[in-house]
Amino acid sequence: MSLDETAIEPPHIATYQDGEVATVVLTNPTRRNAISMGMWRELEAFALEVTTDPEIRAVVFRGAGDVFSAGADITGFDDDRSDRDGARVYDDQLELACRAIEAIRQPTVARLEGPVVGAGAALAISCDLRVAADNAFFMVPAARLGLGYDPRGIARLTRVMGEATARWILLTAGRLPVQRAFVTGAVHEVLPAEDLDQAVDRLTERLAENAPLTLAAAKVALRAVADGTEPTLMEEAWRLVDLADASDDYVEGRAAFMEKRPPHFEGR
């Protein structure tokens, strides 16, 4: 299925599959792809579903058109985040979605272009890899809205961007050019906007060629090391390591190496 932005009605996410790659499109063009409460629910549901799909080898998150996301859709805040209790419910849903995205078995790629603001930044840093156009920028404008920023989100921002950059972006509420994010390691590749799709295709093709069980084990281990507070994550990482070591894919990988040919992994 191909992406047809003209057929998508806001605000929601659209998904399509091209071979072994699934793509999620943030679609709210009148609000520059701002993410509504309903879209967070859809993102969580997608993440929980795609992680069980053996046909998918990589997942891409992007915005419709040439904008990733201008942040949370604050037009819904009077209904969803108007007081302390509503704010906690909203933050809990955002965190559920971000955790579900982090837990996707397959490697995830954020395709970034233009603003990556607030809620959009939270989504982007929940992905494994970030590839950005040179016109992208990060911003967390909570200090300009007067809202309390979820400490769980601050922890995630700090893990990905580093404490110094997290302090700057949160306290100034200013724009962080993507080139500065690249220096911190938060963005893995920066290139002209016209080359962005080709770069993402190249990356997802590479990811799809790798052993799925190995990638799944590595992802859980990386989360366990970064978090450090959930011992069950490390237990799960070891379980997945053992699963990979006992797999047909490991047999295939060794055979391919000896025969000097590309391996063909099936995820079992």
pLDDT of residue 112: 98
**Residues constituting the chain:** 268
Distances (CA, A) of 197 to 65, 112, 115, 170, 180: 12, 10, 17, 30, 22
Q: What is the mean pLDDT of residues 99-118?
A: 97
Query: pTM for the full model?
Result: 0.92
pLDDT of residue 36: 93
User: Does position 98 have pLDDT exceeding 80, yes or no?
Assistant: yes
Average pLDDT of the chain to the nearest whole number: 92
Q: What is the mean pLDDT of residues 225-238?
A: 85
User: Does position 167 have pLDDT exceeding 70, yes or no?
Assistant: yes
pLDDT of residue 230: 75
4-32 pLDDT, tens digit each = 544 557 799 999 999 999 999 999 999 99
Q: What is the mean pLDDT of residues 200-221?
A: 97
pLDDT of residue 6: 46
CA–CA separation, 37 and 174 (whole Å)? 24
Name the residue among 119, 116, 96, 120 with its Cα closest to residue 42: 96
35-93 pLDDT, tens digit each = 999 999 999 999 999 999 999 999 999 999 999 999 888 776 666 555 677 678 889 99
pLDDT of residue 231: 80
